[in-house]
Chains A and B, each alone.
Chain A
């Protein structure tokens, strides 16, 4: 079945450092790919998405590129802030519109001042 693998956390960075969180997936067909963010004590918020190969999703300084050849969707940000501290989930879903994402286990990001 479909699955998502994320790098284990926590990832600990100083403010203004460069961030990469790795995500690879296994799926039949061509899924849509997502990054969700969960701040402490809150639900999930969609951060960005990409729906086809070579698409780049971006939002709030974060970006990720849909790489079909490497089945990857790594999340990057050039300069993290303390307010970016959260848990980040990579997810995929059937592009046919069932809206049932399959999630990775999440990667905790801790940014120190």
Chain B
């Protein structure tokens, strides 16, 4: 089992540009969540996708958008990049919502640097 895989591992972008990050969930999981982890902070929830729809969203602006594909993989898009968007972006996969007493599995993350 490959677990949760994210690409790319590192990325450098310029202010104002757009970026797309990718995530493949763990085998058997159909739900993907995205988190932003700023340096020295805990991960902050961005949004969750299930059945190709955004199901829940954290306190992030509309510049952050996503997509889920029929194979359950997901993309995170960030438009009009700001310096403050520099962070580690983590993807987490989990089973169908509603199953009790299980947990999310995290990928290694994509380190985004905005210059």
Which residue numbers of A lie inside 8 Å of B, CB to CB? 4, 32, 34, 36, 42-46, 49, 51, 89, 91, 93, 95-106
Q: Are B100 and A96 in contact (CB under 8 A)?
A: yes
A-B contact count (CB 8 A): 70
Which residue numbers of B lie inside 8 Å of A, CB to CB? 4, 6, 31, 33, 40-45, 48, 56, 90, 92, 94-95, 97-109
Contacts of A44 in B (CB 8 A): 43, 90, 92, 106
Q: Are B31 and A99 in contact (CB under 8 A)?
A: yes
**Complex A-B, nearest 3 residue pairs according to Cβ-Cβ distance, in ascending order:** A103-B42, A99-B94, A44-B106
CA distance A84 to B6 in the complex (A): 25
Interface centre among B33, B94, B101, B103 (most CB of A within 10 A): B103
CA distance A44 to B105 in the complex (A): 8
Interface centre among A91, A96, A101, A102 (most CB of B within 10 A): A101
Please name 19 further chain A to chain B contacts, defined as beta carbons within 8 Å, in addition to the given A34-B103, A99-B31, A99-B95, sorted by A numbering.
A4-B42, A32-B101, A36-B106, A42-B108, A43-B90, A46-B103, A46-B105, A89-B43, A93-B103, A93-B104, A95-B101, A96-B100, A97-B95, A99-B48, A99-B94, A99-B104, A100-B48, A101-B43, A101-B104
